[in-house]
Amino acid sequence: MGAELRIDGLCAGYGRVDVLRDVTLRVDAGEMVTLIGSNGAGKSTLLKAVAGLLRPAAGTVTLGGVPITGMAPERIVRQRLALVPEGRMLFGPLTVDENLLIGAHSRPARDAGVAADLERVRMLFPMLAERGAQISATLSGGEQQMLAVGRALMSGPEVLLLDEPSLGLAPRVIAAIFEALDTLRSEGLSILLVEQDAHLALRHADRGYVMRNGAIALEGPADKLRDDEQVRHAYLGGRPETRE
């Protein structure tokens, strides 16, 4: 099952450069929420701050009611939050199976759920089962993205953060990844998605937030944001999303 993620008044940046300004948002248990905005709006910075890769200057992050603000990344993973970073960040010289098992390193060595989760990941992405012994650096970009998602799932998260999972991928691969995300959400996993394709993100998400200049500019149900004139002109090419 998923957990609630709450971000309240978060401020963060790099050195003297402020990027996030009083960001407040939430992901309810079992909900997929998307964060859209132009390049440089602060979306990736927010995910890094939540995942512990960047220490916030102010504000709080709670996971299932437990404060995780400023925790080290490995402790946050043990609290059951996982990040799929932009660029995948796989261990290229290692095999597919080795990358997946590294994803479970934070779990107890005798955790019986690891084997079950490995099979679950292979069911979500059959390619990973077929290529378990293949060196991950030799996979295509889409296959590597599936592996990055699978590796994060192996930590047993209740909240999954994804940073630009569709970037540079073929349409059939994007469809496979978002089908898996829809399945995970239906099973109760909480998902916070940063996605450059606003059409795609708002089609799959329950709710959305629009970030502009490091702050939340708009929020609401995904279908309402798709119909919002500001969102259409800024992020959807000036036209309403076609319903499927």
SS (H, E, C) 161-218: EEECCCCCCCHHHHHHHHHHHHHHHHCCCEEEEECCCHHHHHHHCCEEEEEECCEEEE
- pLDDT band of residue 201 (cuts 50, 70, 90) is very high
Question: Looking at residue 190, what is its pLDDT?
Answer: 98
pLDDT given for residue 125 in this prediction: 95
209 and 41 in contact (C-beta within 8 Å)? Answer: no
The structural domains of the chain, ordered by start, are 30-41+72-205+217-235 (3.40.50.300)
83-126 tens-digit pLDDT: 999 988 898 999 999 999 999 988 776 677 888 899 999 999 99
**What average pLDDT does the chain have?**
91
What span, in angstroms and rounded, lies between the C-alpha atoms of 192 and 210? 13
The pLDDT of residue 158 is above 80: yes
**Nearest residue to 54 via CA among 41, 36, 64, 42:** 42
The pTM for the full model equals 0.91
CA distance 28 to 174: 25
For residue 1, the model assigns a pLDDT of: 66
Instruction: Tell me the C-alpha distance between 57 and 49, whole Å.
Output: 10
